[in-house]
Amino acid sequence: MKSLSKRFANSIGRTFKSRYALVFLNGFLLASLLYFYSEDSYEKKLFEALASYVEETPGTKNNEEALLLNSLHLTYNLGKNRADIFANKEINTLKASLIHPVTYDLMTTNGACGSYAYILSRLLNELKIPNRIAQMKVDGLYGGHILVEAKTSKGWVVLDGSYDLYFKKADGSMASFNDVQNNWAYYHTQVPANYNFRYSYNGVRYTNWERIPVVMPVIKGVLTLAVGKEIANGFSIRTFVLRKFHLLFDATVGIYALIILLVLRRYLQRNRGSIKSYLSSIFPGKKPVLIISAKQERKVA
């Protein structure tokens, strides 16, 4: 690992020998930061407006269930007309294909049930309501249908944006995925006429921990040790990565900071003598100390 980081630093150093390369890289990173920030701000403003609409709906204030159901109804109504318009129409752009922001789902609903789930989850995030994206098991495979579970004061409740669907228990309270799974014979009578009965609540997962071999299982193992098996199994990574431009902005800031540190380190190594002389002139009688190893000093010399 040490030799790898050293090779990377040397590679960066060789690149920075060219002033033009450094100027280009600086401009590229700044432009990327500006783009990611503006896109994230645009998306956030859209969902803030949607959240405000939900909160201002009559009867919603201080009513937990009404807040959830109004979010569900809004998601369904926003998506159903767009789904008809953009059905079977491919929008092959770099932004849509590579980044696939939630604004794309909001505009086209081209991701079918996934789009409804991402829109609803992003809206609930804006409303500060804990939620998780659920991958239903259909025909033996997970992810055959995507929906959302929201956490309430009474526990988790399931919301299916594709069908504007939620379930009521016998006592009138909202049901969770487990409730429906354990008594499908009772709950299936509550689905709409156009419902696909392949979506029969046979199983669910919230994160595909096998998607990236080694890395994802290790993350799950650490999470299990930290918070317990039940919480780890119910943890939805996708819920926390919906603001993709925000994540890209943070990642670019990190890369920019790393490059600045490497450039600064190289500058100090190459100009050690002149810096010592400058510091001596400012602080006469004191010996300035630069944190550079003997090996690095010989290399600079």
Among the three residues 235, 252, 287, which one is the final residue of a domain in this structure? 235
Both 118 and 229 in a single domain?
Answer: no
Which tens digits make up the pLDDT trace of 3-34? Answer: 655 555 555 555 555 677 778 888 999 999 99
Domain for residue 2, yes or no? Answer: no
Both 135 and 227 in a single domain?
Answer: no
State the Cα–Cα distance between residues 230 and 166, nearest whole angstrom. 24
High-pLDDT (> 90) share of the chain, %: 66
Both 191 and 213 in a single domain?
Answer: no
- Where do we find the tokens 């919603």? 60
State the Cα–Cα distance between residues 40 and 42, nearest whole angstrom. 5
Domain for residue 52, yes or no? Answer: yes
- Where do we find the tokens 């400012």? 282
Which tens digits make up the pLDDT trace of 40-56? Answer: 999 999 999 999 999 99
Both 214 and 197 in a single domain?
Answer: no
pLDDT-based confidence at residue 300 (cuts at 50, 70, 90): very low
How many domains in the chain?
2
What was the pLDDT predicted at 93? 86
CATH number at residue 45: 3.10.620
Domain for residue 153, yes or no? Answer: yes
Where are the alpha helices (H) located in 171-284, listed in sequence order?
177-182, 184-187, 215-227, 229-233, 244-270, 272-282
Which tens digits make up the pLDDT trace of 207-236? Answer: 999 989 999 999 999 999 999 999 999 999
CB 143 within 8 A of CB 130: no
Both 86 and 195 in a single domain?
Answer: yes
Both 121 and 160 in a single domain?
Answer: yes
- Where do we find the tokens 């689905």? 191
Q: What is the pTM of this model?
A: 0.83
Both 182 and 72 in a single domain?
Answer: yes
CB 133 within 8 A of CB 146: yes
> How many CB atoms are located within 10 Å of the residue 9 CB?
15
Domain for residue 146, yes or no? Answer: yes
131 has which bridge partners? 150
For the chain, the average pLDDT equals: 87
Both 227 and 134 in a single domain?
Answer: no
Domain for residue 272, yes or no? Answer: no
Both 228 and 81 in a single domain?
Answer: no
137 has which bridge partners? 142
Strands (E), the chain: 131-138, 141-152, 155-160, 165-166, 204-205
Q: Is the pLDDT of residue 97 over 50?
A: yes
Could you say which DSSP state residue 98 is in?
I
Which tens digits make up the pLDDT trace of 247-297? Answer: 999 999 999 999 889 888 887 887 777 767 776 777 776 555 555 554 554
Determine the structural domain holding residue 229 and report its residue range. Answer: 209-235
What was the pLDDT predicted at 13? 54
Which tens digits make up the pLDDT trace of 169-214? Answer: 999 999 999 999 999 999 999 999 999 999 999 999 999 999 899 9
What was the pLDDT predicted at 96? 86
What was the pLDDT predicted at 171? 94
State the Cα–Cα distance between residues 285 and 301, nearest whole angstrom. 24
Both 43 and 144 in a single domain?
Answer: yes
Domain for residue 190, yes or no? Answer: yes
Domain for residue 130, yes or no? Answer: yes
Both 120 and 216 in a single domain?
Answer: no
Q: Is the pLDDT of residue 104 over 50?
A: yes
Both 73 and 197 in a single domain?
Answer: yes
Domain for residue 84, yes or no? Answer: yes
